Amino acid sequence: MAVRKGLGKGLDSMIPEQIKNSKDNNEDNVSRETLININEIEPNKTQPRKNFDEDALNELSDSIKQYGIIQPLILQKMNKGYEIIAGERRWRAARIAGLKKVPAIIKEYTDQEIVEIALIENIQREDLNPIEEALAYQRLIQEFNLKQEDVADRVSKSRTAVTNSMRLLKLDQRIQQMLIDETISSGHARALLGIEDKEKQHEAACKVIESKLSVRETEKFVRDLLKVKEGKNDTVINNNNQLVYRDIEEKIRSIMGTKVSIRNKQNNTGKIEIDYYSIEELERILELFQGILND
């Protein structure tokens, strides 16, 4: 089993200069790697990441069994035991692997620094879902009075990226869950932000999933819905008809086993085009029609 990408990176590469420089660089502040009993370690309750992929953890556990933990956990001493600042995923995988002790570095950070480091580690490894990432940005801004520019600087992202991420929190809670479940993408979600009414927003999201719309199709779908609000009813009727025709296309395609296109006109007339790619396939389609007619 290959080592998962990112295991060999040092945490220094993930911590901005503002955090590194917030501690005196004298010998008293140097922390050395040590082995800590795994049962004395607790996860950080304020960790931005809430969802851990089970298959990915098992894969990492297999890697740990073979190679050990390459990058030590970063811990903070508590009244009883230790709290994870960075490395919860490694800690969970180590428990699955049956390790009794894990390599760790004991540090002391402020609450703000702990949130920043956990956020940076997860973003660097693309471990957060879009809602977890947005909530972490929101916490840095609300609890620690940071500006969006400050947050962007700390996580090495543009201010626009941080702003777009946080906009997702304006979505209906049900759509946020769709994002977490990866039922829709961030692109779909941002398109749905154009609909202010939460109930209609959710209805539109369900239609997007049902019709398997691309991000671009979703953007057009939302624009058409907004035009209806302005009184342009013909647009939404035509748009809804397109969704109906697309659904019918899919049903005929599943029956025929080949590409099917419906060319509809504005008066609800049109034609159906069935593609074939050989004489044998044309004969198969003919036999299919004959079978339907004989039933």
| Torsion of the alpha carbons at 153, 185, 237 and 242, rounded to the nearest 10 | 130
Q: Is the pTM of this model over 0.85?
A: no
Question: CATH 3.90.1530.30 region(s) of the chain?
Answer: 11-128
Single out the residue of 64, 115, 60 nearest to residue 86, CA to CA: 115
Rounded to a whole number of angstroms, the distance between the first and last alpha carbons of the chain is: 55
* Residue 18 contacts residue 120 (beta carbons within 8 Å): no
Element (H, E) at 131: helix 130-144
Single out the residue of 274, 215, 220 nearest to residue 242, CA to CA: 220
* Residue 138 contacts residue 169 (beta carbons within 8 Å): yes
Q: Which two structure tokens, joined as six digits, stand for 187?
A: 């692109």
CB-side neighbour CA atoms (13 Å) of 121: 25
Backbone dihedral angles phi then psi of residue 126, each to the nearest 5 degrees: 55, 40
Q: What is the pLDDT of residues 127-164, one digit of tens each?
A: 678 998 898 888 888 878 888 898 888 888 888 889 99
User: Cα(148)–Cα(137) distance, rounded to whole angstroms?
Assistant: 8
pLDDT, position 1:
34
Q: Does residue 85 sit in helix, strand or coil? A: strand
Radius of gyration for the alpha carbons in the chain, expressed in angstroms and rounded? 27
Name the E strands within the chain.
Answer: 33-37, 41-42, 73-77, 82-86, 101-106, 260-264, 270-274
Residue % of the chain over a pLDDT of 90: 28
Single out the residue of 115, 150, 112, 114 nearest to residue 133, CA to CA: 115
Q: Which two structure tokens, joined as six digits, stand for 198?
A: 């939460």
Backbone dihedral angles phi then psi of residue 225, each to the nearest 5 degrees: -65, -40
pLDDT, position 191:
93
Which long-range contacts (C-beta less than 8 Å, at least 24 apart) are formed by 196-200?
Answer: 198/172, 199/172, 200/225
The Cβ of residue 271 has, within 10 Å, a number of other Cβ atoms equal to 9
Distances 190 to 163, 172, 187, 221 between C-alpha atoms, Å:
11, 12, 5, 13
* Residue of 33, 42, 83, 88 with catalytic role: 88
- Answer yes or no: 88 catalytic: yes
3-state helix, strand, coil split of the chain in percent (to 5) is: 60, 10, 30
Can you name the CATH fold of 11-128? 3.90.1530
Beta pairing partners, 104:
34, 73
Mean pLDDT, each 10-residue run in order, the chain (295 residues): 32 41 41 88 76 82 90 88 88 92 89 77 71 86 85 86 92 94 92 92 93 92 79 51 71 75 73 80 77 64
